[in-house]
Amino acid sequence: MDLTSEHDHAASPPLDDRTGILELFARYAWALDTADFDAFLGTFVPDGVLVQVRADGSNTFAGAARLRKFATGLCGASWFPGRQHHVGNIVFGAGRPGVWWELCAYVLVTQARQASVTVEFSGYYHDECVKHGSTWAFRLRRYQAWADAARTLVRAPIDLASHRAGSA
């Protein structure tokens, strides 16, 4: 799916796009944190891709079957129940109003266990979101731990302004 056109640009998205993408982020977090796999798949387009970026080699999950496998594997881990994905500091990059946007966001994962709450993960998302019917969905979602990413990002920051969907 090539979404690029001469109309693509880096700008602040219109309010409807912004709230739609915020709603997408919330649906993703709720779906994963409550092990609702159908809802999780619903946050991606049918050929959507999730990439776990790691300094020592990334893992890619492309298409519904692989995405479901990712979610069931994660949620099946004994340590996963009790986690919540908190997302903020969204920085929008290039996009086309009502069609697609690229963005980065912080993600903090907490773990509630008995009476205690701990931080289990802090990192970032690097997403390409597309309008899919009446809602928004991920075409590509990448995530990486900040401890793993920080050194790389300092040397080679993500250029949201010049990136074009379809080139990743």
Enumerate binding residues for other proteins (CB under 8 A). 15-16, 18-20, 22-23, 25-27, 29-30, 34-36, 75-76, 78, 80-82, 84-88, 110-113, 116-119, 135
Give the SS3 label for residue 22: helix
Kindly tell me which of 17 and 102 has the beta carbon lying closer to other proteins: 17
Q: Least separation, in Å, of the C-beta of 110 and other proteins?
A: 5
- Starting at the edge strand found earlier in the chain, the sheet holding 100-113 runs 9-10, 83-96, 100-113, 116-132, 135-145, 44-52, 59-62
Kindly tell me which of 105 and 165 has the beta carbon lying closer to other proteins: 105
Give me the sign of the Cα torsion angle 2, 4, 5, 11: positive
* DSSP result, 110-149: EEEETTEEEEEEEEEEEEEEEEETTEEEEEEEEEEEHHHH
Q: Least separation, in Å, of the C-beta of 77 and other proteins?
A: 10
Kindly tell me which of 39 and 62 has the beta carbon lying closer to other proteins: 39
* Spatial separation of the C-alpha atoms in residues 161 and 168, rounded to whole Å: 14
Kindly tell me which of 20 and 48 has the beta carbon lying closer to other proteins: 20
Q: Least separation, in Å, of the C-beta of 7 and other proteins?
A: 21
Q: Least separation, in Å, of the C-beta of 158 and other proteins?
A: 22
